[in-house]
């Protein structure tokens, strides 16, 4: 009766939540937007900003447009981007439909394997491809020297386009697959009961429904192609083909005066183009609302489209595709790390050597690149996830005035080219006094890499947060908890699986990423990607392959362990 009147509680003092919210918001927005300001500024100076006597000038832009190498790089980039996008979107869409809507044998396993190029560290895949399909590659040699057949040229624009399509295909595959998973398959069933055969259903119903998703990933892949750096540096090198990003990189590192304004100007132009593509994409996804199908998802098991006598051939073709694009290059990579030289003229076991691995274990620069990269992947990954988790809570679960800016700020770093973000950080560190605190040590590189990949942590955390009903926060507030208490004791504990997944995603990416730090690395602060890039350009291949194998092994091990851990967390 009087139970309710039993006083067991005293009043509670609390600090206003908005101070902490302000600190985190300003930090996120500052880290993301900050680097672009010095970059744009430096592009409009007549001299690099650290030299005295610079004035405002369009000289950088004029130099850029007058440079025939720039125009060639733009042309190459566009050719590459158009071809790659077309191949990747067509292939990804086809594979997504085959693996989710048909009775293709082995579609489950393929569904996972097709993602491989997005998990394998990018440089590892490039090195593996070179080892197998490059000019001196194993298969290329086998066909040309031993069998005297005409062969391809991986270092040509078509060659790089094919490789680019293999790397970007998972983007299209994932976008289309998730859209297919979210659309009611009863729409297709209705067409079948109206008398349409499988091909007609795909052509008349499935593909038209996918139009927004296909457009969306087309723009996304096109934007990715514009900024690609690894492909032209590794593959285009032998035939002197430059793309936009590699042109900027080479001009930067080979220029007489260091850090010329015209490189900043080129970066700003690319930034503008990519930002415009971002706007286009936002418009497109707005139009997507029109395609949202009415009614509840059927949930029932629907009968997959029957491929008939094409079942086995199609399945075999996908198997071969996966073997050729992922499995064989990975084997080539491993082989390359164990031989003196990869050639078909001498059996590989006669060329066996442990020198490459010995170099990795003893060369201080190579060793440092491994430990530094691991340090950044673990420490930077954890710090980024913590920052993004709180920022996401502010963006979606608070009344903080700046909250609407946070989600776009978190999406932006991954939407702009990594080299450009890196160049922005270079100028930022150079122009501001506190920058010298991080310029000459690992911190500067760690910050650039983490900011670049904040987006990835956010895209993992945000959907999980959206699934937590807002009534759970409200119940916390009603019980007397302030914003931080609700965040700390209710939302963050519930987000644990997402936080772990975000950390794993960050770890894997940070270990392989290098775009943002190609302008920042200095002797003594090596990281894996840039070290591989620099060694490769001097013709050192074996140790680079060994580093790439190491990268792949670490990533595979982490994914394996994390998969187990995540399953356990989900059960709890």
The footprint of another protein (CB under 8 A) covers 1, 3-6, 8-12, 469, 471-472, 474-482, 485, 489-490, 493-494, 496
Distance CA 311, CA 103 (A): 7
| Least gap, CB of 472 to another protein (angstroms) | 5
Q: By C-alpha distance, which of 550, 96, 512 is closest to 334?
A: 550
Q: How would you class 354 by CB atoms within 10 Å of its CB: exposed for 0-12, middle for 13-18, buried for 19 or more? A: exposed
Total residues belonging to the chain: 572
Distance CA 542, CA 355 (A): 8
CB nearer another protein, residue 8 or residue 347:
8
| Least gap, CB of 6 to another protein (angstroms) | 7
Q: How would you class 238 by CB atoms within 10 Å of its CB: exposed for 0-12, middle for 13-18, buried for 19 or more? A: middle
Distance CA 497, CA 564 (A): 12
CB nearer another protein, residue 296 or residue 478:
478
Distance CA 429, CA 422 (A): 11
| Least gap, CB of 19 to another protein (angstroms) | 15
| Least gap, CB of 493 to another protein (angstroms) | 5
CB nearer another protein, residue 275 or residue 485:
485
CB nearer another protein, residue 41 or residue 484:
484
CB nearer another protein, residue 347 or residue 471:
471
Distance CA 388, CA 378 (A): 15
Strand partners, 339: 352
| Least gap, CB of 14 to another protein (angstroms) | 8
Residues 6+ apart with CB under 8 A from 197: none
CB nearer another protein, residue 238 or residue 482:
482
Please say whether the beta carbons of 96 and 180 come within 8 A: yes
Strand partners, 56: 45
CB nearer another protein, residue 150 or residue 469:
469
User: Which long-range contacts (C-beta less than 8 Å, at least 24 apart) are formed by 396-400?
Assistant: 396/462, 396/465, 396/466, 397/465, 397/470, 397/473, 397/486, 397/487, 397/491, 398/17, 398/21, 398/483, 400/18, 400/21, 400/22, 400/25
| Least gap, CB of 3 to another protein (angstroms) | 6
Please say whether the beta carbons of 325 and 166 come within 8 A: yes
| Least gap, CB of 471 to another protein (angstroms) | 4
DSSP letter at 235? I
CB nearer another protein, residue 203 or residue 493:
493
CB nearer another protein, residue 21 or residue 325:
21
| Least gap, CB of 13 to another protein (angstroms) | 10
Distance CA 50, CA 260 (A): 11
CB nearer another protein, residue 195 or residue 469:
469
| Least gap, CB of 495 to another protein (angstroms) | 10
Distance CA 303, CA 308 (A): 14
| Least gap, CB of 4 to another protein (angstroms) | 4
| Least gap, CB of 12 to another protein (angstroms) | 6
| Least gap, CB of 59 to another protein (angstroms) | 51
Rg (CA), the chain: 26
For residue 415, give both structure tokens: 């939407």
CB nearer another protein, residue 8 or residue 292:
8
| Least gap, CB of 572 to another protein (angstroms) | 8
Please say whether the beta carbons of 204 and 56 come within 8 A: no
Distance CA 130, CA 230 (A): 12
CB nearer another protein, residue 14 or residue 358:
14
**Sign of the alpha-carbon dihedral angle for 495, 499, 500, 505:** positive
CB nearer another protein, residue 350 or residue 571:
571
Please say whether the beta carbons of 170 and 217 come within 8 A: no
């Amino acid at each position: 009766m009087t139970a309710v009147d039993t006083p067991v509680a005293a009043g509670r003092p609390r600090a206003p939540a908005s101070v902490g919210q302000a600190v985190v918001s300003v930090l996120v927005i500052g880290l993301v937007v900050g680097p672009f300001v010095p970059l744009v500024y430096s592009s409009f100076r007549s001299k690099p900003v650290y030299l005295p006597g610079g004035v405002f000038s369009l000289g950088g832009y004029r130099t850029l447009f007058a440079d025939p190498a720039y125009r060639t790089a733009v042309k190459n980039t566009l050719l590459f981007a158009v071809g790659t996008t077309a191949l990747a979107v067509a292939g990804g869409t086809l594979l997504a439909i085959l693996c989710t809507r048909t009775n293709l044998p082995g579609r489950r396993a393929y569904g996972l394997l097709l993602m491989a190029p997005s998990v394998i560290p990018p440089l590892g895949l490039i090195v593996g491809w070179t080892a197998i399909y490059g000019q001196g590659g194993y298969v290329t040699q086998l066909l040309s020297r031993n069998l005297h057949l005409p062969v391809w040229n991986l270092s040509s624009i078509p060659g790089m386009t094919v490789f680019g399509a293999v790397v970007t295909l998972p983007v299209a595959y994932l976008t289309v697959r998730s859209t297919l998973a979210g659309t009611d398959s009863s729409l297709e069933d209705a067409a079948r009961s109206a008398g349409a055969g499988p091909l007609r259903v795909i052509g008349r119903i499935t593909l038209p429904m996918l139009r927004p998703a296909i457009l969306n990933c087309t723009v996304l892949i096109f934007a990715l192609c514009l900024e690609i750096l690894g492909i032209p540096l590794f593959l285009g090198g032998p035939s002197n083909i430059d793309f936009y990003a590699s042109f900027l990189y080479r001009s930067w590192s080979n220029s007489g005066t260091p850090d010329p304004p015209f490189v900043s100007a080129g970066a700003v132009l690319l930034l503008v183009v990519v930002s415009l593509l971002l706007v286009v994409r936002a418009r497109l996804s707005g139009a997507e609302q029109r395609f949202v199908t009415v009614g509840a998802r059927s949930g029932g098991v629907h009968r997959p489209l029957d491929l008939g006598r094409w079942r086995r051939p199609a399945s075999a073709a996908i198997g071969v595709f996966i073997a050729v694009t992922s499995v064989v290059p990975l084997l080539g990579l491993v082989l390359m790390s164990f031989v003196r030289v990869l050639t078909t003229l001498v059996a590989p076991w006669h060329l066996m050597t442990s020198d490459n691995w010995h170099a990795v274990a003893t060369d201080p620069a190579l060793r440092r690149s491994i430990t530094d990269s691991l340090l950044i992947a673990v420490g930077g990954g954890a710090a980024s996830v913590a920052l993004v988790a709180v920022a996401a809570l502010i963006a979606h679960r608070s009344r903080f005035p700046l909250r609407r800016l946070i989600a776009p700020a978190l999406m932006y770093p991954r939407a702009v080219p990594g080299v450009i973000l890196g160049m922005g950080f270079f100028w930022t560190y150079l122009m501001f006094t506190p920058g010298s605190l991080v310029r000459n040590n690992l911190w500067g590189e760690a910050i650039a890499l983490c900011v670049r990949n904040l987006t990835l942590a956010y895209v993992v955390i945000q959907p999980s947060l959206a699934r937590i009903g807002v009534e759970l926060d409200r119940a916390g507030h009603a019980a007397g908890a302030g914003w931080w208490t609700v965040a700390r004791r209710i939302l963050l504990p519930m987000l644990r699986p997402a936080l772990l997944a975000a950390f794993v995603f960050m770890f894997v990416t940070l270990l392989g990423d290098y775009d943002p730090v190609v302008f920042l690395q200095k002797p003594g602060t090596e990281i894996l990607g840039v070290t591989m890039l620099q060694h490769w350009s001097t013709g050192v291949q074996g140790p680079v392959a060994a580093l790439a194998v190491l990268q792949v092994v670490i990533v595979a091990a982490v994914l394996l362990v994390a998969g187990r851990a995540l399953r356990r967390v989900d059960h709890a």
